[in-house]
Structure 1
Amino acid sequence: MTMDPLLLTGEVDAATDRLLRTAATFDGPDLAAASLLPAWSRGHVLAHLARSADGFVNLLTAARTGESIPMYASAAARDADIRAGASRPPEAHLDDLRRSADRFAEAVAAMPVEAWTATVQARLGPWPAAMLVWGRLREIEVHHVDLDAGYRPADWPEGFGHRLLHEVAASLNGRADAPPMVLRFDGSRHELVIGDRSAAPTLTGAAPELAAWLIGRSPGTVLAVTPDGPLPQPPEWI
């Protein structure tokens, strides 16, 4: 998968379309049902996806104008917006998702080439503006799974699953709380090593399944472990 932000926009559009098709199937009770995220309903997840799109618009605007604009006004404001939007009727959720996605697309289109070299202040710290389109794609694909409505990591586009796996593995390498492990893709000799290889079990599976397990979106039951034994316990993802 390319990391060129402009070439990734088609992936974002396709992921958004898949998300909207799922969201369009929800009625009121569906939205109130639990998601895969603790204490969040499906309505919370959809409200978060809409507000995070606006957060990415803020960061794109900061990169374009040079102004210091945070992703969210504050952590408390972010949480309050999600709570306030969670219980809306299905039509309001769909309209908000569509409109916020359009605002994101417009903000990407407004970016001059030089603005992609900027660094912006994301929720967890400084981030290259060139990574913002990837960040939005990752948000959509992962939270679509969190809706627990039939969309699974196996449904992720192959390029997305590979890119996510590489990103998460790189972020874990060197962390004191990350257990050693070797991640090997099915049907490939390519592998990713986290920590001390000499003490590491080898986990084999499809790239999306490995990535989903590392970020806590899968129990890892489809992964093979060599030598035979329990799966390691990866630390909490972002």
Structure 2
Amino acid sequence: MTADLPDHPSAVATPEALERETGRLRDTVGRLTPDDLVGPSLCTGWSRGHVVSHLTANALGLADVVRSAVDGADTTMYASEAARDADIEAGAGRSPAEHLDRLTTASRELAGLLSRLTPAHDDATCERTPGGVTVLVRAVPFLRLREVAYHHVDLLHGFAFADLDDRTCAAFLGHELKGLAAADAPPDLVVAAEGYAPVRLEAGGVTVSGAAPALLGWLTRGLTDGVTSDAGDLPHRPEA
């Protein structure tokens, strides 16, 4: 009997998992040269330097989300979307050593704050930007783990979704499919990951098959290696 994809992906976002994946990310960033950093990433319009700058800014933003709960700080994740984008752009041109130092410091700050979360903070929220959507504080570990893993892949420097452990990869895939299923118009698609029960997003539809890492790469980044369709050509990649 095949297993269902995880229903509660946050279960994989343990402090140990976040430290492990952050450490692997730091190892990769530590190997990037100035030429590497100005090279393209998988994120359209962003160099590798932009991706690392974003990961640093994201850690600091999520640290403020947690700080709003544990310290009662009057803060938002970002001052504004424009400020977020400007911070990423301003940091993209840092030297390799500066990138690594800032990423390490921001990641450690976030980890320290996360260690202070208790069940009393389970219902706490923080606005992403003033008056904007809210972020559930208890979701921060999973949100950060996903950012670290996905953008590590985006660096195009030797790390792929297949390098994630099976449980974490399955949790990410389950999370993506849950988001698609909740859309106003779910895609007419069946996603069949090897070793797991197929997930039918809408009645009928094309079946897309492959190992969980390959399907995650297709759904989130448009990567097609290892993904097949019973219709022959792969359908258009759905957007959550």
> Could you tell me the TM-score, scaled by structure 2's length?
0.89
**Superposition pairs for residues 120-131 of structure 1, below 5 Å?**
120-122=126-128, 125-131=133-139
Instruction: State how far apart, in whole Å, the 1-side matches of 2:99 and 2:157 are.
Output: 16
**Contact 1:63–1:129 at 8 Å: present in 2 too?**
yes
Alignment of 1:37-186 (within 5 A): 37-122=43-128, 125-176=133-184, 178-186=186-194
Report Cα offsets for 1:184-217 as digits up to 9, x if no partner.
Answer: 12144x1111122x2x1111111121122111x2
Q: Deviations over 1:63-95 (max 9, x none)?
A: 224455211011111111111111111110010
* Distance in 2 (alpha carbons) for counterparts of 1:138 and 1:177: 25
Structure 1 residues 91 and 70, CA, compared in 2 at 3 Å: closer, same or farther?
Answer: same
Structure 1 position 115, deviation (Å): 1.2
**1:202 lines up with 2:207 in the alignment:** yes
Change (3 A) 1:107 1:220: same
Gaps of 5+ in 2: 1-5
1:112 maps to a residue whose letter is T
Q: Which has the higher contact order (CA 8 A, sep 6+)?
A: 2
Which of residues 176, 193, 202 in structure 1 aligns to 2:200?
193
TM superposition outliers: structure 1 runs of 4+ over 6 Å: none
Mean CA deviation greater in 155-164 or 168-177? 168-177
Q: Does the aligned pair in 1 maintain the 2:65–2:135 contact within 8 Å? A: no
Amino acid at match of 2:159: Y
Deviation at 1:126, TM superposition (A): 2.3
Identity %: 32
Alignment check: 8 A CA contact 1:63 1:116 kept: no
- Show the counterpart of 1:220: 224
CA distance in 1, matches of 2:186, 2:225: 20
Give the aligned residue type for 1:232: P
Deviation at 1:129, TM superposition (A): 1.6
CA RMSD for the aligned pairs?
Answer: 2.0
Q: Report the Cα distance in structure 2 between the residues aligned to 1:155 and 1:93, rounded to whole angstroms.
A: 23
Q: Which runs of 5+ in 1 are unaligned?
A: none
